A and B are shown apart, each in its own frame.
Chain A
């Protein structure tokens, strides 16, 4: 199923990219004849289906996304993409871990102290976190912690990765942290009001065991659903933060491939496919995780099988 979905997505992307306005081969100094020759070299004058077939064939046979057309003057995408992915994934990974862990702690703290100071504090914090875009927070951090107090580099520097990844990772984690905190709190409050928790506590169960085994576990299912797309968003790069902080990640690459001197079909496609693959992959993992977390889903699945 996942593969068929991916194929359909690739085809739609392929069509959309070619319909999109903008020149795949910008050359102000070339005559119309030379441009036509170049387009023919790139196979752009074949019928759409033939182009698609060639693209898929090339992708499967050699695992290659082809060469760029407008961006980096035709350098093979395979030499550009891995570095960009590694930058984005590492920063995204740090921010997702940070966001989820801190978010969970905040959410649990809020739910257990319902109506008290911690609850209000976490609620306000998560509203601010959801409302303030990550790049605003990024500019804020950049201004205070590398301009006013020069503790961190002003721009991303791959030679000092951890040192320069802290600010972007922190600003990117704000949204996921708030979302996770909010959902954790609400779900936990709901579960805590349910009959089985009442039963468990009336049977004398209390403290950490009640929270982790009965409340948190049941509250996690909706939370996991929220986290999954957040992970993809973060891994595939927050394009504005990447542009502000000069991180050469895939978000920035995507923007450059569309708004650069020309529209680079192959880059847009490669990044689109990458994004879809990640999304579908994460959703697949999510389905499996549901089963592990919720005995009801597991039991229902077994019955059918």
Chain B
């Protein structure tokens, strides 16, 4: 009995010492607690930065670094950090109950408009509540007005619009995210894209025949109307072909549509469908499947049907149906016969064929959809139809990750070499790295702090492959006086001062570390190239550097102006 007591006491004492050491270390590493000290700040220049604590390992570090950089540049300023879930962050931003937010946006389609559309007055993502009629006019004209018809003039006007955003520091860009992938030996031909479909496997090969791929979250939906996340789009695109498909460079290539004619005014597209495409229940894929799917998406209150409206695809009457309650039957899409689909537009859309590989525009077989019911469509292999390279073999929402197997009836089955793909949801990148080494995963994504170790590892470094993830992290400021903000950021000089005080290279090199690109334009690079010159819209990162480059002199000058104007 006594001996036991002695042991217990010894173990407890050991545990206490260990705990104390741990606390001591922690205190030593981070001398300044978030929002603890006042730092003798002048009255009132205390702002709160909100960020997500479930949006990636590096986000908290980036937020801490922003706080440090701003407080160092401006001794009068105190930044409080406030971590929260992504959902809460978005709720605060949508309700305008924040001051500064660290947020991100990924491109939906390969045109700068997917970013520039965000800062139009009253747009859902205009979290700064900024408004500039001149800007609105350019964006409107470029998406569905006069500029839409003149490719080069539109492209030039988009730069003008971008400059307005940058000049006013409506947002300040930080970095364009990259994915550090590990790809197993012998796996080839997986196409990585920063936009629309992140990974395409149609032309991939894998020594074992079946590829094991990591997902970081469960697949949310395989209903093309309801899906909203990249992982879901990826599985949908494994199984369903649209009118066009993405090639390795991201350009639109014929898929279900063999060819298409464009009218002289560029406002009528006639797609000629191939006759050998079938759904996996044996029914042929017809133009009616497209007409049905598109009209269906008009009737449902779903997130992605905005892609039909006049800011993106400009399908005729989409605006009237979605926002003014017109009859969905009036949508400008019509199956002329089983294999001819005519689409009418409100304005010329130069990137229209490349929109057609986005899952929102995929076909749905009406008879099948009505047979299984809207609630159940896409929730299991039995309630999902495939016309693409793979067929769904296993999936239950929330409980069984998708598995797909090769579709023998695919019209292009001869060129598909993979036997199937198993998706594995993995929590935490440490775990993913071990699973990759173990051979459980053929493709996995690792975090920035693992990249250094992997690069040093002689065997693993060969497997490392950095690809653009497309989305851009940026900082947005609420320009209104609200529950959280005293309205100081309505002052353009203050925003510019904050933009100029961020060292983006330092941020990326020390905290993100996965090959992400420091970004100085509000449309990030890598995803939108000009159709005439082939040049990336944002290849020239120095274009707006004067507004957001790391320049403490300019930051101090703007800050002094702001302080005077705000009366501090």
Contact = CB atoms under 8 A, between A and B. Distances in A.
B34 interface: no
Interface stretch (A25-33, A171-179, A214-222, A227-235): A25-33
Nearest to B440: A154
A87 to B, nearest CB: 7
A150 interface: yes
A177 B220 CA distance: 37
Contacts of B3: 115, 120
- Choose among A150, A153, A248 the residue with the greatest number of B CB atoms under 10 Å from its CB: A248
Nearest to A67: B375
B398 A22 contact: no
B263 interface: no
A185 B84 CA distance: 45
Contact of B4 (A31, A71, A87, A119): A119
B431 A73 contact: no
Given A21-B91, A147-B438, 10 more contacts: A26-B86, A29-B108, A32-B94, A79-B376, A83-B398, A115-B4, A143-B434, A244-B427, A246-B425, A248-B425
B397 interface: yes
Given A23-B91, A31-B124, A72 B220 contact: yes
Contact of B397 (A38, A79, A158): A79
A91 interface: no
B232 to A, nearest CB: 8
A262 B52 CA distance: 12
Contacts of B375: 67, 74-76
- Choose among A123, A142, A155 the residue with the greatest number of B CB atoms under 10 Å from its CB: A155
A263 B87 contact: yes
22 contacts: A21-B85, A28-B90, A28-B303, A29-B108, A29-B125, A30-B303, A32-B94, A72-B221, A72-B398, A80-B399, A131-B15, A142-B434, A150-B438, A154-B440, A155-B435, A243-B427, A244-B427, A248-B398, A253-B398, A256-B217, A259-B87, A260-B217
Nearest to B435: A154
Interface stretch (B145-153, B223-231, B290-298): B223-231
A114 interface: yes
Contact of A74 (B226, B399, B424): B226
Contacts of B306: 29-30
B224 to A, nearest CB: 11
Interface of A: 21-23, 26-32, 34-35, 37-38, 41, 67, 70-76, 79-80, 83-84, 87, 114-115, 119-120, 123-124, 127, 131, 142-143, 146-147, 150, 153-155, 158, 243-244, 246, 248, 253, 256, 258-263
B309 to A, nearest CB: 10
Contacts of A67: 375
B531 interface: no
A243 B429 CA distance: 12
A32 B84 contact: no
B301 interface: yes
B438 A124 contact: no
